[in-house]
Amino acid sequence: MWNERYNEAEYIFGTEPNDFLKENFQKIAAGGKVLCLAEGEGRNAVFLAEQGYQVTAMDMSEVGLNKALKLAQDRGVAITTQVADLAAYDFGEEQWDSIVSIWAHLPDAVRRHVHAQIVPALKPNGVFILEAYTEQQLTMDAVGGPPATQRARFGSLAVLRSELAELDEITGIEKQRMISEGKRHKGLSAVVQFIAKKNS
């Protein structure tokens, strides 16, 4: 499905980074190792590489990641890409200064698998940065987020706080905000924003 969506010259979510990430990336240790989950066409990974981070972009779409590599080349930076399914992905232990999840809307079982690996995978003082649509998005006149048939994939602050309770929360809010990211994310949208840090 995602290979088909990404299989066009246009970057369907644009080439500029997510606003929330752009506002908060400096919470990541300078020059650190960053893992971007479900990174698609690479706009966030490339932005972080431009800021001096060592970035690995993982996604299940080879087509998307090839576009990410092209974007990185065009911008004069290097990123590492991994074609992988989050349902079976091994995050490693104390590998990452940050794990970034922007619009990664996962089935329950996959989300729990991912969240269970966040804490051990982060280095001491590492940060997890997430933005996702909430179920309220279904009532908004906006483009973006899972369909009504996949309600379980929406983000929830309560779920994040429960499943990532071992992290120290820095930011946790459900809100509405304007989004303009290519043709697939547009308009006043309902989101959850979450940043949390691993104790040293």
Cβ neighbours for 200, distance < 8 A, ≥ 6 positions apart = 124, 125
Cβ neighbours for 199, distance < 8 A, ≥ 6 positions apart = 124, 125, 168
CB burial of residue 68 (10 Å; 0-12, 13-18, 19+) = buried
The span from the CA of 96 to the CA of 67, in Å, is: 24
What is residue 3's predicted lDDT score, i.e. its pLDDT?
A: 78
Indicate if the alpha-carbon torsion angle 176, 180, 181, 187 is positive or negative. positive
Query: What is the mean pLDDT of the segment spanning 173-196?
Result: 96
Q: What share of the chain is helix, strand, coil (3-state, %, to 5)?
A: 35, 30, 30
Indicate if the alpha-carbon torsion angle 171, 174, 175, 181 is positive or negative. positive
Segment 62-111, tens digit of pLDDT: 999 999 999 999 999 999 999 999 999 999 999 999 999 999 999 999 99
CB 113 within 8 A of CB 87: yes
Higher pLDDT, 71 or 3: 71
What is residue 84's predicted lDDT score, i.e. its pLDDT?
A: 97
Segment 18-66, tens digit of pLDDT: 999 999 999 999 999 999 999 999 999 999 999 999 999 999 999 999 9
Class of domain 2-197 as given by CATH: alpha beta
pLDDT beyond 90 at 170:
yes
Confidence of residue 186 (pLDDT cuts 50, 70, 90): very high
pLDDT beyond 90 at 180:
yes
Q: What is the mean pLDDT of the chain?
A: 97
Query: What is the mean pLDDT of the segment spanning 124-138?
Result: 98
